[in-house]
Chains A and B, each alone.
Chain A
Amino acid sequence: MKVAVRVIPCLDVKDGRVVKGTHFRDLRDAGDPVELASRYGSEGADELTFLDISASEQGRATTLEMVKRCAEQIFIPLTVGGGIRSKEDVDRLLRAGADKVSVNTAAIIRPELIDEIASTFGSQVLVVSVDARRESSQSSGFEVTTHGGRQSAGRDALSWAKEASERGAGEVLLNSMDADGTRDGFDLEMISLFRQELSLPLIASGGAGKIEDFPRAVEAGADAVLAASVFHFGTVSIDAAKRSIAAAGQIVRLPSQD
């Protein structure tokens, strides 16, 4: 009896539409978030993640409405991230139907945000998203970045993840900025290093391009694997990703036989 590896499609949402680009640039339209949420729910996604990359207040308001409509479509956990700076932001999203929130830049700027969210809503609602890239001057070999990978935060990604864990994060979403959007596979070295050093669940993200990438990330130590464009554009189905993880001897949740 063992908890299953989770396969999580991620919707990057800008002004009410799902978009996908390389390194957060050259964004392409990938569809309607509500339609995609519904599709992934019925295709056996274990959770759904919704990242708001809107830059404007109006975009954020649209997103809140989208979160509500997505939450109505599915009976699996929904994580929402993007632009969360306060407990009030978290409260608004939970009330809109999110089960968890993911914080990133705002927590790096003001780490106490993690303590505040965890002590008010519990660690289980809080995913700390770490956008990491290779940087040999950092002791772990990885640095953390902010603003969607555009700026260096000037600190070690692993030590930041450990601090986030101690402050009360419930999970770490480890996103490789080097691999993101390349479809060359997950950063296995990074996953393995973080898995050894952290005692909370680790979601691997960035770089999924083909079916074989998923079991490799799991073997490297990921408790969950997250991807966007390969799922949106139909390169890999949720079911195919799960079956390849199962074929490698890992446990996944498959639809019942009846």
Chain B
Amino acid sequence: MSGTSKTAVLDYGSGNIRSVERALATTGSSVVITSDFEVAVNADGLVVPGVGAFGQCMTGLRAIRGDEIVAERLRRGRPTLGLCVGLQILFQCSTESAGVQGLAIFEEGIERIPASILPHMGWNLVDAAPGSRLFDGVEDERFYFVHSYGRLQQQSNAALPDYLPSWSEHGARFLAALEFGSLSATQFHPEKSGDAGLHLLENWVRSWR
């Protein structure tokens, strides 16, 4: 593709998205923050950030038809990256917000992490999936996590073709990142993970630019 690629950061009232914008800008992509349906659907890459509770995020997302935006991008095979709760909402539900339906792209649930100290806060390692493009060159680096819920490995039965899960551990092994066709997501915050995080975002942009 010629010219500068355009990445949109979906704004649905969730947290410090300026830092996501700044981090993406370091990859050379032109970045817009948007809650507009057409802009979000048509951007070359879309980042779906997420902080706070699962239920709150889903409410905010639906208010701007974010559920339809993500579904439409998936259908068209357009690159989409979920961050933190932006990973969790790809699943069916979460014990954090009982009764709230997620995007249900994966038919599994998010659960509270069984650890003696929560939130899981700080820099942790990731067991990158073999063949992962996101972690290429940063397999041994630490990334910044802050969360109390996650997709637990022991409960996981995902055997979808082309599904690449990467795992981390705090009390139990949980999903640190996933790559599934045009869809990627990280439980950690690459925009807060120093040089390693910037490298990962560059990997993501490079995978489709």
A residues at B contact (CB < 8 Å): 1-6, 41, 46, 71-72, 75-77, 94-95, 97-99, 121-125, 170-171, 199-201, 223-224, 253, 256
Measured in the bound complex, the distance between the Cα atoms of B191 and A201 in whole Å is: 22
Interface residue total, chain B, C-beta cutoff 8 A: 41
Q: Which residues of A contact B169 (CB under 8 A)?
A: 1-2
B197 lies within 8 A of A6 (CB)? no
Residue from B16, B125, B145, B168 in contact with A94 in the complex, judged by beta carbons closer than 8 Å: B16
**Residue of A76, A199, A223 contacting most chain B CB atoms (<10 Å):** A76
Which residues B167-200 have CB closer than 8 A to chain A? 168-170, 189, 191-198
Q: List 27 A-B contacts (CB under 8 A).
A: A2-B124, A3-B121, A3-B122, A3-B145, A4-B123, A4-B124, A6-B122, A46-B123, A75-B23, A76-B144, A76-B193, A77-B189, A94-B15, A121-B15, A121-B51, A121-B52, A123-B119, A124-B52, A170-B119, A170-B121, A170-B146, A199-B116, A199-B117, A200-B117, A200-B118, A253-B123, A256-B140
Measured in the bound complex, the distance between the Cα atoms of B4 and A1 in whole Å is: 38
Q: Which residues of A contact B16 (CB under 8 A)?
A: 94-95, 97-99
Q: Which residues of B contact A71 (CB under 8 A)?
A: 18-19
Counting CB contacts under 8 A, is B68 at the interface? no
B171 CB to closest chain A CB, in angstroms? 10
Residue from A41, A199, A201 in contact with B121 in the complex, judged by beta carbons closer than 8 Å: A201
B residues at A contact (CB < 8 Å): 15-16, 18-19, 22-23, 51-53, 56, 116-125, 127, 140-142, 144-148, 168-170, 189, 191-198
Residue from B15, B51, B125, B146 in contact with A1 in the complex, judged by beta carbons closer than 8 Å: B125
B124 lies within 8 A of A223 (CB)? no
Known contacts being A46-B123, A123-B148, A125-B51, is A75 close to B191, with CB within 8 Å? yes
Measured in the bound complex, the distance between the Cα atoms of B140 and A223 in whole Å is: 22
Q: Which residues of A contact B145 (CB under 8 A)?
A: 3
A4 lies within 8 A of B52 (CB)? no
